[in-house]
């Protein structure tokens, strides 16, 4: 086959990236070692919900690439979610300063550059950082994702699903870790052994393993990630008053100590969106673009159920107008079932220092369409800020492979000043909504109240006495947890002695003070009758159907806050 001339190669790229609708400008093509700003490389905005991969070795510019893409998406009115692992992405809130070197680069690729700021919202998992606290209830998180955080095996994961099923059927709200611990302790107690037998596949020994893992999570300080107010993922879909998409940066200052929690929490955000967004079909632009940095953490040692759930979410969330970009070092970090759904590829340089690196390089090359480049050579020689790109065009076909010098961000490529971040958080409308944790009546209180009522004296006492736990041994719920923590950590437990329950929010209590009925849920309501005046009416009886009794759970076993209203 005759060799193509440089002009022919450039013409192929020009034709392949001539698009009609709005686009994200990625850069200018490099052909035969020469930069051609008359051959722009771009990505159709309407195809960004076909998902993508941004890959490359450490230090090759992956973070800058997603920074640049986030800016253009925001300008186009598309909200963006970014996991800010190194703190660099907070620079989106600060305009960049120009320089002669920067001007030379942007002129060479035909980029009309000017320093700009972008509308940014700063979040932090459970308040672990300067951003708005993001929390999830245990019920919403679901058994599959929680099993991932606890590193349970498949048998234990199945058993945890039975625990959730039991709690759902009996109106035991699992808000935080102490709620789940209380339910498991009830099932393994003499009082709950009949209920445990009815669950069939849940053994007392397995329940004990799960209980120990829960205490380990608490000992590591992870209880602050679970609770209320639960973050509403619809907050990620907002636009600023000027029409630009809000860029949400999730701060992750302690990623290295909690990598499993980080990756699993991101999947909870996606799963919640997936369950609540309506079908959208083909849109001119996505409703949200989600960048999952350090994507390999999602898949390391993942159970089959977890991988199946990720694959299903990625495959189906596209039709709801959400695009997902996985950011990692090599395509082999992503399972083939997921990789096959990533139509847009931005591949930065790879290194081939070891046999394993060479194998990864060959595997990466094999995932690209045929091209005019020697991709093995190109991928090992590409400079910082350059990438091999192929995306899906407006007709759904792959564009020509193009080595591209990428556009430069217009905001600071690094962290914003701490004072600016603090003032942005303080001025956020979300602070009043999510800034302060609350502890409403849930499974822990219901089971503690039931135990108090069954002892006799508490049942006949005043409402105030029962609600404060009078007549209940303060060690009844926490004794096992304290003992297990001491065994795990090899030191005295840091868990404080149980304190009297504080006065609960009247808004939540008034909703629950309804007439009780029969069954176990009725027993629980009756036990709290004296404490709360009038008892509790279960969700099942308020809806009057069996369907109402069992929370609808999604692909990850999640149950969103909106579906639990």
Instruction: Encode pLDDT of 381-440 as tens digits.
Output: 999 999 999 999 999 999 999 999 999 999 999 999 999 999 999 999 999 999 999 999
Contact 365, 379 (CB under 8 A): yes
Residue 458 scores a pLDDT above 50? no
Residue 282 phi/psi, 5-degree rounding, is -80, 125
Tell me what the mean pLDDT of segment 241-270 comes to: 84
What pLDDT, on a 0 to 100 scale, did the predictor assign at position 256?
63
Tokens matching residue 429: 């409308």
**Residue 551: pLDDT band by 50, 70, 90 thresholds?**
very low
Contact 541, 550 (CB under 8 A): no
Residue 213 scores a pLDDT above 80? yes
Residue 263 scores a pLDDT above 90? no
Tokens matching residue 283: 């849109």
Spatial separation of the C-alpha atoms in residues 504 and 180, rounded to whole Å: 19
Spatial separation of the C-alpha atoms in residues 30 and 38, rounded to whole Å: 11
What pLDDT, on a 0 to 100 scale, did the predictor assign at position 493?
53
Query: pLDDT, tens digit, for every residue of 353-378?
Result: 888 888 889 989 988 999 999 999 99
What pLDDT, on a 0 to 100 scale, did the predictor assign at position 296?
84
Residue 55 scores a pLDDT above 80? yes
Closest by CA to 89, choosing from 293, 289, 281, 288, is: 293
Residue 259 scores a pLDDT above 80? no
Query: pLDDT, tens digit, for every residue of 113-156?
Result: 999 999 999 999 887 888 999 999 999 988 988 988 888 888 89
Closest by CA to 199, choosing from 221, 169, 227, is: 169
Contact 556, 144 (CB under 8 A): yes
Q: Is 440 helix (H, G, I), strand (E, B) or coil?
A: coil
Alpha-helical (H) ranges within 257-408 are 259-276, 296-299, 304-317, 336-339, 355-366, 375-381
| pTM of the predicted model as reported, rounded to 2 decimal places | 0.80
Alpha-helical (H) ranges within 151-192 are 154-169, 177-187
Tokens matching residue 438: 């609350």
Which residue's entry shows tokens 């304190």? 499
Query: pLDDT, tens digit, for every residue of 282-292?
Result: 899 999 999 98
Burial of 448 (0-12, 13-18, 19+ CB in 10 A): buried
Q: Is 260 helix (H, G, I), strand (E, B) or coil?
A: helix
Query: pLDDT, tens digit, for every residue of 311-344?
Result: 888 888 999 999 999 999 888 889 888 998 999 9
Tokens matching residue 512: 């629950």
> What does the DSSP assignment read for 377-410?
HHHHHPPTTEEEEE-B-TTS-BPPPEEEEEPPPS
Residue 543 scores a pLDDT above 50? no
- State how beta strands 80-84 and 34-44 pair: unpaired
């Amino acid at each position: 086959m005759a060799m193509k001339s440089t002009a022919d190669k450039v013409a192929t790229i020009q034709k392949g990236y001539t698009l009609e609708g709005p686009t994200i400008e990625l850069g200018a093509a490099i052909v035969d070692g020469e930069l051609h700003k008359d051959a722009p490389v771009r990505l159709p905005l309407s195809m960004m919900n076909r998902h993508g991969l941004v890959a490359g070795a450490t230090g090759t510019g992956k973070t800058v690439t997603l920074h640049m893409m986030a800016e253009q998406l925001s300008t186009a009115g598309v909200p963006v979610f970014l996991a800010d692992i190194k703190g660099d992405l907070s620079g989106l809130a600060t305009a960049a300063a120009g320089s002669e070197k920067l001007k030379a680069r942007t002129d060479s690729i035909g980029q009309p550059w000017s320093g700009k700021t972008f509308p940014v919202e700063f979040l932090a998992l459970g308040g672990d950082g300067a951003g708005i606290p993001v929390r999830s209830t245990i019920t919403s998180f679901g058994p599959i994702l929680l099993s991932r955080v606890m590193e349970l095996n498949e048998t234990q994961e199945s058993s945890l699903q039975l625990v959730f099923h039991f709690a759902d059927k009996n109106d035991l709200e699992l808000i935080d870790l102490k709620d789940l611990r209380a339910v498991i302790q009830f099932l393994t107690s003499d009082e709950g052994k009949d209920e445990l037998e009815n669950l069939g596949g849940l053994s007392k020994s397995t329940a004990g393993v799960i209980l120990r893992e829960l205490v380990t999570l608490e000992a590591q300080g992870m209880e602050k990630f679970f609770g209320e107010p639960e973050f509403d993922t619809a907050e990620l879909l907002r636009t600023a008053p000027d029409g630009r998409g809000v860029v949400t940066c999730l701060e992750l200052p302690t990623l290295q100590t909690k990598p499993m929690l980080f990756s699993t929490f991101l999947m909870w955000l996606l799963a919640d969106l997936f369950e609540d967004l309506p079908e959208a079909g083909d849109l001119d632009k996505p409703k949200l673009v989600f960048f999952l940095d350090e994507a390999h953490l999602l898949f390391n040692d993942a159970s089959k159920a977890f991988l199946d759930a990720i694959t299903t979410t990625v495959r189906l969330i596209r039709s709801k107008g959400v695009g997902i970009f996985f950011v990692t070092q090599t395509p082999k970090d992503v399972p083939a079932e997921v990789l096959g759904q990533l139509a847009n590829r931005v591949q930065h340089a790879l290194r081939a220092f070891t046999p394993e690196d060479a194998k990864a390089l060959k595997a990466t090359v094999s995932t690209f369409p045929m091209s005019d480049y020697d991709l093995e050579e190109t991928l090992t020689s590409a400079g910082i800020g350059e990438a091999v790109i192929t995306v899906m065009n407006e007709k759904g076909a792959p564009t020509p492979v193009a080595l591209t010098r990428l556009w430069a961000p217009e905001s600071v490529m690094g962290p914003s000043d701490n004072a600016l971040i603090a003032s942005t958080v303080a001025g956020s409308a979300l602070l009043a909504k999510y800034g302060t944790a609350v502890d409403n009546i849930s499974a822990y209180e219901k089971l503690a109240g039931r135990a108090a009522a069954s002892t006799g004296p508490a049942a006949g006492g005043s409402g105030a006495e029962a609600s404060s736990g009078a007549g209940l041994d303060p060690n009844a719920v926490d004794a096992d947890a304290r003992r297990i923590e001491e065994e795990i950590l090899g030191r005295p437990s840091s868990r404080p002695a149980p304190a009297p329950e504080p006065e609960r929010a009247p808004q939540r209590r008034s909703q629950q003070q309804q007439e009780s009925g029969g069954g176990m849920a009725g027993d629980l309501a009756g036990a709290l009758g004296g404490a709360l005046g009038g008892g509790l009416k279960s969700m099942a009886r308020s809806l009057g159907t069996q369907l109402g009794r069992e929370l609808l759970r999604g692909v990850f076993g999640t149950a969103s806050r909106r579906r639990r209203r």
